[in-house]
Amino acid sequence: MRPPLRTCTAILLMATLFMTASGCKPITGSDRVLTPPGAPNPAATVGFIRNGWHTGLVLPAAELKGPIHTLTHWFPTARYVEIGWGQRPFYTTRHPGPWTALRALFPSPSVLYVKGLRHVPRAPHLLWRALSARGLHGLQQFLGHTFRHGPHEALEPVRSDGVYAGLFFRARGTYDALHTCNTWTIAALHHAGLPVHSAGVIFAGQAATAVHDAGAPVRHRSLP
């Protein structure tokens, strides 16, 4: 399966107008946890994953509780879930045209992508972060608020043309050139208690640098 590269590709059009990502440090290696201050005894871990211009989260399925517990009904055999946020028409279309890409630069509807995983994804740019119990609760609340819910708090799936192996769900929030998938990812980690801030984060390199600089590495033990 192709990695979800296309959600943030449209913001490349803004790079020549606003800024470049030249100050972003490359991230290498995988299977790491960065422990934020105040979490000496982590309650859980969350993964920050980067695929090209797109970033998202990897969360053990055991932590799908509280406002995101209904994801377990959609992915009953998953040990992990990968979650990403992006512009709905661009993210859910196999071959988005120039007009679709242009629309992604302006305020437009968003969508959440969720993929169930049996094992930790083999990604060269995967950083694991340790969360306190309070941080885990904050992340669960943030994710729960991002999902749009229908009657009886049910998640609302969004149809796509089969571009990815996961599922899409209706989401809150507006996507535009200055509020991208990378902005959302860092906002999620901020709510999880990590010392990162989403203001000014547009590119994947900026997001990766923020996560990389936030703490010291610790190993993550994969589930059997």
DSSP letters spanning 82-94: EEEEEEHHHHT-S
Q: Please tell me the pTM assigned to this model.
A: 0.80
Strands 126-131 and 32-35 turn out to be parallel
Determine, yes or no, domain membership for 190: yes
Write the CB contacts of 127 (distance below 8 Å, at least 6 apart in sequence).
Answer: 27, 30, 32, 33, 34, 47, 48, 208, 211, 212
Stretch 12-28: mean pLDDT, rounded?
33
Q: Which domain holds residue 124?
A: 6-17+30-219
Nearest CA to 86 out of 73, 97, 100 is that of 100
Q: Could you tell me which of 102, 101, 111 has the C-alpha nearest to residue 160?
A: 111
If one compares 79 and 94, the residue with the highest pLDDT of the two is 79
Q: Tally the domains of the chain.
A: 1
Establish if 40 belongs to a structural domain.
yes
Q: Is the pLDDT of residue 117 over 90?
A: yes
Say if 1 falls within a structural domain. no
157 in any annotated domain: yes
Q: For residue range 27-44, what is the model confidence (pLDDT) as tens digits?
A: 333 333 333 444 556 788
Please name the helix (run of DSSP H) or strand (run of DSSP E) that holds residue 184, with its range, or none: helix 181-191
pLDDT in tens, 118-168: 988 877 789 999 999 999 999 999 999 999 988 877 899 998 876 678 999
Residue 191 lies inside a defined structural domain of this protein: yes
Quote the tokens at residue 41.
């005894």
* Domain presence at residue 164: yes
Question: Does the residue 25 lie in any domain?
Answer: no
